[in-house]
Amino acid sequence: MNATIVDVLIENIKTDQDLLQTVEAKIETAKDEKQRIVNRLKEQQKDISVLLKYADEKQHAKIEALGFSFSDPLRGINNIASVALDLIMKAKNNQLTNQELYDGYVNALKNKDEAVKYSEFNIKCRSLFNTQKLLRKKGSDPKSSKLDIISLNGRVLPKEDKVAAKKEPSKTTQTKKKDDTVSK
């Protein structure tokens, strides 16, 4: 069967459409892979900003050569530390044991397989202690950190307590009023 020019053109169009679908699938895969790499780099930048104080001058130079700048405001806390801080903020009296904090972190994940091990979790949370956002009080077992009490540095009053504190006069104010009444 002889192919006409129209038949050849139709076949070329079909071939190019198939190639386009293949290339688009590769582009989507590459975009997903790029996003995973970008996310890892962001986490590594947060980690390096915490560990920077342990680096010597030679390592500082290598880090800066990699394009990391430590003067910009992106020097935040990593995602794991952020979750831990949120858990402490929501906890009763703003404190949990270290094991409860770790368990809360694991439970907060959609995919439990993505959870880091207990020791890595503690390393990722160091920035919270280094910046004194959180405080650690040694627990009953000196050889384990699982019973350590982790608390927020400073107490956040719940909204109800703030309102009650404004309405109720302080004890010194009440005593002063009594003294004024007695002296009259």
- What domain range includes position 83? 79-161
Within a domain: residue 155?
A: yes
Same domain, 53 and 97: no
Q: Total domain count for the chain?
A: 2
Q: What are phi and psi of 152, to 5 degrees?
A: -70, 135
Same domain, 61 and 92: no
pLDDT at 70: 59
Q: Using CA atoms, how far apart are residues 116 and 119, in angstroms rounded to an integer?
A: 8
pLDDT at 3: 79
Same domain, 52 and 92: no
Span 15-37, pLDDT tens digits: 999 999 999 999 999 999 999 99
Q: What is the DSSP string of 94-108?
A: GEEEHHHHHHHHHHH
Within a domain: residue 169?
A: no
Within a domain: residue 170?
A: no
DSSP 8-state secondary structure symbol assigned to residue 102:
H
Those residues of the chain that have pLDDT short of 70 are 1, 50, 69-76, 155-184
Interaxial angle between packed helices 98-108 and 79-90, expressed in degrees from 0 to 180 and rounded to the nearest 10: 110
Same domain, 18 and 50: yes
pLDDT at 106: 93
Same domain, 11 and 50: yes
Q: Using CA atoms, how far apart are residues 112 and 106, in angstroms rounded to an integer?
A: 6
Q: Using CA atoms, how far apart are residues 161 and 157, in angstroms rounded to an integer?
A: 6
Within a domain: residue 183?
A: no
Same domain, 61 and 104: no
**β pairing state of 149-152 and 95-97:** antiparallel
pLDDT at 76: 59
For 114, residues 6+ apart whose C-beta sits below 8 A from its C-beta are: none
Same domain, 61 and 84: no
Same domain, 52 and 98: no
Same domain, 89 and 142: yes
